[in-house]
Structure 1
């Protein structure tokens, strides 16, 4: 799963594998993918495609499936508005939805994250989760507590299973995913720092005859660690296919790292003579994509709505119309304005869009942006007879360059980036001759763009008075190794 797909989860329902991943601060929330072979995935929907749960405001992390009696449950993390991180649950009559949210199950003072539902040896269903103590310089115990018959509330007392007490785990253990095999419960879990340039995440495993313990950690942990290609592998879910065992987990590609985000990898493991899982060479064996052009984007806005791949900042879903091969994006007044975005798949690429320039309303700007989040972006914008480069950092917007353009019906804007860091911008009024925008140096530096937990997106942007709109004719991304 190339691009920004952290904390991936997978389960088999009938003859189909279903997968999802962390959405963080991008909607729509919790993508739903299907596959017959664990390799070829199709995006078919979202758990929360439009309306968010009323109680939740941000940090939509780590969904996990549980299927029972024909009903699908998704246990997930989100932050209560004005409050702590919680584990919550939504359910549906079929895995594609629609899902009904049942609200939070647990929200400890330090926060509760990474919920996973697992039946014990007697068939009673328990929720396993992490107390987010590292957020306040405390330990991070893994807890278990029984779920009610409706699977929508906790009952009884919570039991602590284990915490971060081994050196490699650093300040935390998290991301629990359980499977039962040959009389043992096995818990795959992640330890240490998940994200960003300085991450040192890795994967460990523990086992127990009984769900509530005692749990034994493998003395050869971590069983999955970095290599020269992939960094910080962790937080995954187990899948079995034709007698082979896999962990669907995330890792950073060392060559592009935080600029693309944590990508979804499938790593195969076997069971050794002592009954422990083993990965070949103790590191991800996935090869980086050699033909990145397969992930190129050539969007001509066919049909009558945007495709499922498009995203927007949580709580800021824009008003869009797709008709006659054009996207009409209603403007927003703050910072960058309204935007729709796509994940990046590599750190070196070109992106372009052609928009109706003559019909842009006065004081409305539209264009193309590399976006970490709405507070951090580099954008090439057209409006008021000009082309401008906007630098947005920590919510402060600055116009770095402005160039007046002769009147024309359409204008094509182009963004080029190398290694996620060096940016150049150009425009064309005839689709053939490019005019580079002057900057103080050869290129602009975009090192500041990615947040600690997310990769960079490429967005179409419309900024101006609400009610005004911009019209885009295409969206093109060409990837390079």
Structure 2
């Protein structure tokens, strides 16, 4: 065999391999465009700027908003809701952008306070990144109406959603006409897809291309270590069906770096190309970084053929480390807290963060201000400036009854853990009066190590058996690092020089 024949066979093999990957629903390795927990994302474009929002679950403020001009580099600019709407109690999931009549709509899912049922609400603004006004419930259906998606079909609005909880029925994707103002259902809903295999069905979005409406949805378990999410597609000549499923589903199901891909929406760039912003778990960091924001391109090989996802170049090598010196008059927008269990009061003055507030009964962890982690392994530091009897320090927080922290109360340094509704002090040390620096480090084996210092070198509060952060992971979100305070009325914690350094 001569060299030219070998080169030809090598190229043919590479081309065949690429085609097999594409047809099987797998993508080549890529990196998150929005790293950290960014589940159920939605995306929209205004001119040359893209806006994305995502699930915030039990963190407040609700539904973070990110912007980008190239779909690669994203910056957080705010939230849909700075304050919790009065009628809602939690589970802030799956916000969905829609633009209509010079107005930006966010259709969102949240749990109603009076009965705990998940409903679909809507908020509007003249801007895509601020100023949203809540208009309350649009859809309540059985025990669960979630994952709204709205489509404008030649002037007629349609809304689709996941319906669950009707006696004897499996999960369904329903569709209905929507009023011109976007606030009310019109006519009888129609079943578009049914979960006949009872494996899970949700997170739908619709595109119109040539002669067909393409209905993308996510099947399987969305969340946690046992997740099985993947994206399928069906199509129809009419938006209300009947829909025919693609025989080569799933269309998207992960790669060697990512798993449990799904629940996204599409946007076109200025050249008319289609991109899908969705979430997936890293196979390396898994639940410790949550469902991260990924981007893939969607292409149609020819008119009326089934679409395919294609890989994109890796956008960035690493995410920048976090440093907050608390300059300016307002805290950084990336800080979030568990609004169900605490009401924080934040002030920034003269380069210091002042944290106080109240906690609900049964909250043994205190108030937390957290950041979305980008990796499972990191070092976190802060300086505690003031001295009082309150708990002030650092925390890795799953929820109010699952946390791990280091704090100073008076002159006592405490390494503590909250587990099974009980706070346990694991080790203590004595500090002199004055500023204390605290540090928490999560290593590759997920063990947590605690340090403190004043004028000398770092001192470790070492345990015979280091604590593993494995028990800090809620079902639908990652545990988060951040700042912690718990004290009496009139007390506060004063902090400086917060940082997180990631291990890539």
TM-score, length basis structure 2: 0.88
Correspondence for 1:198:
226
Is the contact made by 2:387 and 2:433 (CA closer than 8 Å) also made in structure 1?
A: no
Q: Secondary structure at the match of 1:381?
A: strand
Q: Deviations over 1:438-470 (max 9, x none)?
A: 3131x2111011101101211111111122101
- Counting only pairs closer than 5 Å after superposition, residues 51-62 of structure 1 correspond to structure 2 as 51-62=83-94
**Where do 5+ consecutive residues of structure 2 fail to align?**
1-33
CA distance in 1 between partners of 2:457 and 2:245 (Å): 62
* Residue among 457, 468, 474 paired with 2:480: 457
Cα distance, 1:185–1:419 mapped onto 2, change above 3 Å: farther
Is the contact made by 1:206 and 1:217 (CA closer than 8 Å) also made in structure 2?
A: yes
Is the contact made by 1:70 and 1:94 (CA closer than 8 Å) also made in structure 2?
A: no
CA distance in 2 between partners of 1:138 and 1:467 (Å): 54
Cα deviation for residue 165 of structure 1 reads: 3.1
Correspondence for 1:396:
422
Q: Deviations over 1:399-427 (max 9, x none)?
A: 1112222x231111110002472111010
Cα deviation for residue 69 of structure 1 reads: 1.6
Correspondence for 1:214:
242
* Residue among 407, 427, 443 paired with 2:452: 427
RMSD: 1.9
* Residue among 353, 365, 372 paired with 1:343: 372
Correspondence for 2:50:
17
Is the contact made by 2:266 and 2:275 (CA closer than 8 Å) also made in structure 1?
A: yes
Q: Secondary structure at the match of 1:37?
A: coil
* Residue among 199, 202, 212 paired with 1:171: 199
Residue 116 of structure 2 is aligned to residue 89 of structure 1: no
Residue 78 of structure 2 is aligned to residue 48 of structure 1: no
Cα deviation for residue 384 of structure 1 reads: 2.5
CA distance in 1 between partners of 2:131 and 2:208 (Å): 30
* Residue among 440, 443, 461 paired with 1:437: 461
Cα deviation for residue 336 of structure 1 reads: 1.7
Q: Which has the larger radius of gyration?
A: 2
Correspondence for 1:143:
174
Q: Which runs of 4+ in 1 moved over 4 A?
A: 284-289
CA distance in 2 between partners of 1:140 and 1:272 (Å): 32
* Residue among 304, 315, 324 paired with 1:299: 324
Equivalent pairs counted in the alignment come to 464
Correspondence for 1:126:
158
Cα distance, 1:138–1:472 mapped onto 2, change above 3 Å: farther
- Counting only pairs closer than 5 Å after superposition, residues 458-477 of structure 1 correspond to structure 2 as 458-477=481-500
Q: Deviations over 1:300-347 (max 9, x none)?
A: 001011011111112434101101110010154542222211110001
Cα distance, 1:428–1:263 mapped onto 2, change above 3 Å: same
Correspondence for 1:382:
408
Cα deviation for residue 226 of structure 1 reads: 2.3
CA distance in 1 between partners of 2:357 and 2:129 (Å): 32
Is the contact made by 2:411 and 2:433 (CA closer than 8 Å) also made in structure 1?
A: no
Is the contact made by 2:377 and 2:442 (CA closer than 8 Å) also made in structure 1?
A: yes
Q: Secondary structure at the match of 1:258?
A: helix
Q: Secondary structure at the match of 1:179?
A: strand
* Residue among 331, 353, 360 paired with 2:387: 360
